[in-house]
Structure 1
Amino acid sequence: MKQINLRHKVESLLRILVKGTYENLKYRRNHILKTYREKPVEKNLYVSFTTYGPRVHIFEYTVLSILAGSILPEKILIYVPKGFKDLLYAKTDSILLDHLELGIIELIEMEEDLGCHSKYFYAFKAYGDQKDIVICDDDVVYYVDWLKDLIQGKHNHPDFDVFAYKAVQVYRTDDAIEPYDNWFHLTRNQQEGKTLYAEGVGGVLFLKNKLTKEVFNKEVFMKITPKADDVWLWFCTYYNKLNVKYISPKNNTKLLYVIPDSQVVNLWSDNTSLKRNDIYVANCNTYFKEQLNFELMPLIPLAPESHNMNKE
């Protein structure tokens, strides 16, 4: 046990030297907070995410990683449940208190907590017709050119409306969308796909005034996809006739690092291990087909033979 603890300590010390890690970010935090106002800002672009009480000690490092980026958004919008600000102000080691409400960072207590859907719902509703919006998660640190590469992707691919660092190719059989476990992530070696599924954890850029129809129907999404904003946004994206582009990180850079101790509670493991994503996809498939006369499945490519062979 002592050897294992010693190894973890050594690895943690070494990670301080690796840019983009939580340990390196923590080591550089004072410098980041002193210098971020000197960086270029992308006007008319906001970053939005949500967090809650159990992550009051964690989310600040997601913000810090964005501030450490090569280019900054005009605003970082953080949507939180009522009482969250009191938790933050009670912290004696907060690194952001002196920077809240002074410019780029806004902490917004919600009238109604919509869970994971809060990361996009309020930002889209308030600013989606005027600003490009990037949604992300509250438990990771993003690499230095994260936002820059998303913005460059928008300029390089004008025929697309949504840009994602983590994009998944979904396949179907003749009569059904394949189970979530059979989906696979695009990589630098395979960057093209059709009817891609964008995962918010990597950061997803939505162009302004594009995702407008059905996305705000909270009575529906809280019923059929209460813990799967990515699934709801996937159906809404193609219902609005939008196209998703996968953006590959440059120079073999690791896209993100999960913040230590942030995964005690997380939706991803529950949604995947408990097969909830398959249930949520089926719910959306039924709702969009029966209530909106929209079928996503015909837009999804049939699984190739090689894909079927890999499952065997």
Structure 2
Amino acid sequence: MPILNNIIRHCQRKFKSLSGIPLQYTAESVVKKQWAMRDNIRRDKHPLGGELMVNLTSYPPRFPTLHLTLQSLLLQDTQADKLILWLYKADYDQLPPEVLGLVQHGLSIELVEQDIKSYKKLIPALQRYPRAYHVTADDDIYYRPDWLAELLAGYRGNEREVVCLRAHYITLDDSGNIQPYRYWQAKTEQRGPDNRLFFTSGAGALFPPGALHPDVTLNKKFLQYSPHGDDIWLYWMATLNKCIIHRTGHNKKLIVWKQSKNITLWQLNKQPDSGNDFQINNMLKAYGQPEIKQTN
């Protein structure tokens, strides 16, 4: 049965990957066309009881295509209260006119004093706007117009709840211990609620106010234990705070701008002395294993 399930999962992933290929080649032209027609697009108000913010960060190598991602986020069918680009202040002067021009269309740019890498997409937001509902995004992805609506549709109204559109499923060994990252079920079809769902924040994740453990904003700790793995840190902060985690939506293929692909972080996360397993082991030593149960 496990072998059959693996085959089924592989086929599902392959089908979704193949079905997304046409959009991979047309996404840029789609954004440009939609942006030209933006005044004719009807946008719905979000259903949450507080302020909703979509957050992302970026850095100069990604700036050439950043405006495409930002435009796709501004074109969402469901409108957030704020779209914030969190930027290290030394990088601001390198922003291209295509990005700066989006400020008049709803983009907010907030500068931070310390370059905490990928953590900039959420940590400063939690610090400055602790009572908001925060959604995370990445700077190199095309977000379909229904992306935010699809994410919000999965929210069940709990304070300690994380909703995601994409997740890996953590596997356990016979003793119930977390197995190495390479053995996890990548891009799982599991929906949960299940706190073995390891959400990938760049694909889209919703964090209600107070959902994460108070340690989440302690720069010294996350830079020590998981300096290159913000998703690892955020997962532990969610499970420590006894959050419900579940995946929603249709697990659509991520459309990444080819010009912005960066292999450096991918290579770094494979290294034995700095990669995912190294950082996971750091978290296990610092905070212990989350209370997770092995299910069939």
TM-score by length of 2: 0.81
- 2:228 partner amino acid: K
Q: CA deviation at 1:278?
A: 0.5
Q: CA deviation at 1:131?
A: 1.0
SS of 2:194's equivalent in the other structure is coil
SS of 1:283's equivalent in the other structure is helix
SS of 1:244's equivalent in the other structure is strand
Q: How many residues align?
A: 269
Q: CA deviation at 1:68?
A: 1.9
Whole-angstrom distance in 1 between the partners of 2:116 and 2:147: 26
Runs of 4+ in 1 over 6 A off after TM superposition: none
SS of 1:24's equivalent in the other structure is helix
Determine whether 1:231 maps to 2:232.
yes
Unaligned runs of 5+ in 1: 1-13, 290-294, 305-312
Q: Which residue of 1 aligns with 2:119?
A: 117
- 1:200 partner amino acid: S
Q: Which residue of 2 aligns with 1:5?
A: none
Determine whether 1:99 maps to 2:102.
yes
- CA displacement, residues 119-177 of structure 1 (integer Å, 9 cap, x when unaligned): 1100011112x21100111110111111001111114x648610001112102221631
Contact 2:86 2:111 (8 Å CA) reproduced: yes
Contact 1:40 1:71 (8 Å CA) reproduced: yes
- How do residues 1-312 of structure 1 correspond to structure 2 at under 5 angstroms? 15=23, 21-32=27-38, 34-35=39-40, 39-42=43-46, 44-88=51-95, 91=96, 94-100=97-103, 102=104, 104-128=106-130, 130-155=131-156, 158=158, 161-173=161-173, 174=175, 176-185=177-186, 187-188=188-189, 190-192=190-192, 194-195=194-195, 196-249=197-250, 254-272=252-270, 276-289=275-288, 295-296=289-290, 299-302=291-294
Q: CA deviation at 1:238?
A: 0.8
- 1:232 partner amino acid: W
Larger Rg computed on CA atoms: 1
Whole-angstrom distance in 2 between the partners of 1:200 and 1:210: 14
Contact 1:49 1:120 (8 Å CA) reproduced: yes
Whole-angstrom distance in 2 between the partners of 1:35 and 1:54: 33
SS of 2:152's equivalent in the other structure is helix
Whole-angstrom distance in 2 between the partners of 1:300 and 1:138: 32
- 1:208 partner amino acid: P
Whole-angstrom distance in 1 between the partners of 2:284 and 2:120: 22
Whole-angstrom distance in 1 between the partners of 2:120 and 2:280: 19
Q: CA deviation at 1:39?
A: 2.3
Q: CA deviation at 1:184?
A: 1.0
Contact 1:58 1:262 (8 Å CA) reproduced: yes
Identity %: 23
Contact 2:160 2:212 (8 Å CA) reproduced: no
TM-score by length of 1: 0.78
- 2:265 partner amino acid: L
Whole-angstrom distance in 1 between the partners of 2:122 and 2:263: 20
Contact 2:84 2:107 (8 Å CA) reproduced: yes
- 1:24 partner amino acid: V
Q: Root-mean-square deviation (CA), in Å?
A: 2.6
Whole-angstrom distance in 2 between the partners of 1:61 and 1:302: 41
Whole-angstrom distance in 1 between the partners of 2:266 and 2:213: 26
